[in-house]
Amino acid sequence: MIRFILLQNRQGKTRLAKYYVPLEDSEKHKVEYEVHRLVVNRDPKFTNFVEFRTHKVIYRRYAGLFFSICVDITDNELAYLECIHLFVEILDHFFSNVCELDLVFNFHKVYLILDEFILAGELQETSKKAIIERMGELEKLE
């Protein structure tokens, strides 16, 4: 199961945070700080999986943004690496050539995209086409 998803830039500013397990505010702060320190200082030659407390973090860097997913220790890392890439592809399609500013000003839409394919910490939908179509439907309502 996914514990949380973080989008952070190189300076450590959180651009998006979605927690699938209840955490106190102080704990969230600590987690965000630790995850950022963990992924930023990591050598690019190393794998994109790293142990974090009793879980593991799968991360991927796109330009100046780090996409980090914390999952159970027994989960499949490659599946979540693909999940991050799917998320980025959808963002890129939805915002037509996405940049960090799009995520800042449209963070509520990013949450919506996230809810389209991850529900209760589990991957629900893997079809990019289906997600984009549904997002189009929801956009018409706005």
Partner 1 sequence: MEQLWTIGRELAMGSQGGWGQSKEFLDLVKSIGEARSKAEEDRIIARELEHLKRRLADPDVPRRKMKELLLRLVYVEMLGHDASFCHIHAVKMTHDESLPLKRTGYRAVALFLDERHDLVILVVNTIQKDLRSDNYLVVYAALTAACRLIGEEALPCRPRL
Q: Which of 1, 20, 61, 128 binds partner 1 (CB under 8 A)?
A: 20
What span, in angstroms and rounded, lies between the C-alpha atoms of 7 and 133? 24
Residue count (the chain): 142
Residue 119 in the binding site for partner 1 (CB under 8 A): yes
Residues 99-118 that bind partner 1 (CB under 8 A): 101-102, 104-108, 111-112, 115
Residue 16 in the binding site for partner 1 (CB under 8 A): yes
Residue 142 in the binding site for partner 1 (CB under 8 A): yes
Residues 56-85 that bind partner 1 (CB under 8 A): none
Is the Cβ of residue 1 or residue 49 nearer to partner 1 in the bound state?
Answer: 1
Is residue 60 a contact partner of residue 83, using CB atoms and an 8 Å limit? no
Q: Residue 89: CB partners within 8 Å, gap ≥ 6?
A: 128
Annotate 43-80 with b (16+ C-beta within 10 A) or e (fewer). Answer: eeeeebebebeebbbbbbebeebbbbbbbeeeeebeeb
Is the Cβ of residue 29 or residue 37 nearer to partner 1 in the bound state?
Answer: 29
**120: which DSSP letter?**
T
Size of the site for partner 1 (CB under 8 A): 27
Chain positions contacting partner 1, by CB under 8 A: 13-14, 16-18, 20, 22, 25, 28-29, 32, 101-102, 104-108, 111-112, 115, 119-120, 137-138, 141-142
